[in-house]
Amino acid sequence: MKLHLIATAEDVGTRIDVYLTKQVQGFSRTHAQAAIKAGQVTVNGKTVTPHYALRIDEVIDMDAEEKPKEISMKPWKEGKLDILHEDDDVIVINKPSGMLVHPAVPTDHESLAHALLAHFPKIAKVGEDVTRPGIMHRLDRDASGVMVVAKTKKAYENLKEQFQMHDIEKVYTVLVEGTTPEDSGTIRLAIGRKKGDGKMAARHLAKDGDKEAITHYRVEERWPRATLLTVRTETGRTHQIRAHMHAIGCAVAGDPLYGTGRPNRLPVPHLFLHAGKLSFNHPKTGERMSFEAPLPKELQHVIKGLEGNHKSQ
């Protein structure tokens, strides 16, 4: 299937994946995203990401299969969930490190989304994307912690608005390499995707397509080679904490993407980024609810090791 299209005034601001589903009959959003990620779609001759927002007169070209291979959403019955809370409207879970939140390619069969479908099949049509049933936000595969999932369409829309209005409080425990410049601070750097290496860039001067990102941090403990932080985010950009910490010279410990190349890296088993607390208003009752998940044992051992080494010096 080959297409050559030009964005009109009505298309301005529309995501490229959504735009393609409107232009091609029977072409699902999942199909569109697969084609975009495979590099089969360009805007003004350049590859883009599925969330790219169109501008007027941009030229869209696509050379893709008529029916790209679907991402299977077969329930993952063996997938275990650590459920912190469940009622008629929401599910709150503690995601372990190593679990993918939702599939990105057809070969992804074991994710949080697949496990949710096995335990809560009725959420299959909740949300805007069948590959993210009821899922309101995400954590990186190697990150851990609290997440909220909507069980109904009304709950989804309510929580979506809370996220958009920054009414959701997200608190993280983060260990970084080195030391932060201040005991507490706010990082306000726009974030956009870099070309070619999968990283996000935090920039002082925003480029087209960059999005506002705000991260607050407070130092809890300092050691010679590392600093333990409590981090709060106002926005929820891809790799926000990781990109922001890297930008101020303190990569998150165990980060294979932003921390590579540093000598004497900290001995951590995986990314030290844990969503320890999540607070939101219940979508039906309006009651303010807060949920916490303890730091995983393997990360607790890292802290004990740092404390022990410091005492022995």
Active site residues: 140
CA separation, residue 39 to residues 26, 36, 48, 203, 312 (Å):
20, 5, 8, 25, 53
Rounded-to-integer distance, Cα 154 and Cα 280, Å = 15
Give the 3-state secondary structure of residue 244. Answer: helix
DSSP 157-221: HHHHHHHHTT-SEEEEEEEEES--SSSEEEEE-EEEEPSSSS-EEEESSPPTT-B--EEEEEEEE
Query: Would you say 124 and 130 are in contact if contact means Cβ atoms under 8 Å apart?
Result: yes
Rounded-to-integer distance, Cα 191 and Cα 204, Å = 9
Which residues, in sequence order, are CB contacts of 244 under 8 Å at separation 6+? 187, 189, 191, 202, 213, 215
Which residues, in sequence order, are CB contacts of 291 under 8 Å at separation 6+? 84, 85, 92, 146, 148, 277, 278, 279
The pair of three-digit structure tokens given for residue 287, joined into one six-digit string: 């009651």
- Which amino acid, residue 12? V
| Structure-token match 């990102």, residue found | 213
Residue 54, class by beta-carbon neighbours within 10 Å (0-12 exposed, 13-18 middle, 19+ buried)? buried
How many Å separate Cα 38 from the centre of its chain? Answer: 20
Give the 3-state secondary structure of residue 91. Answer: strand
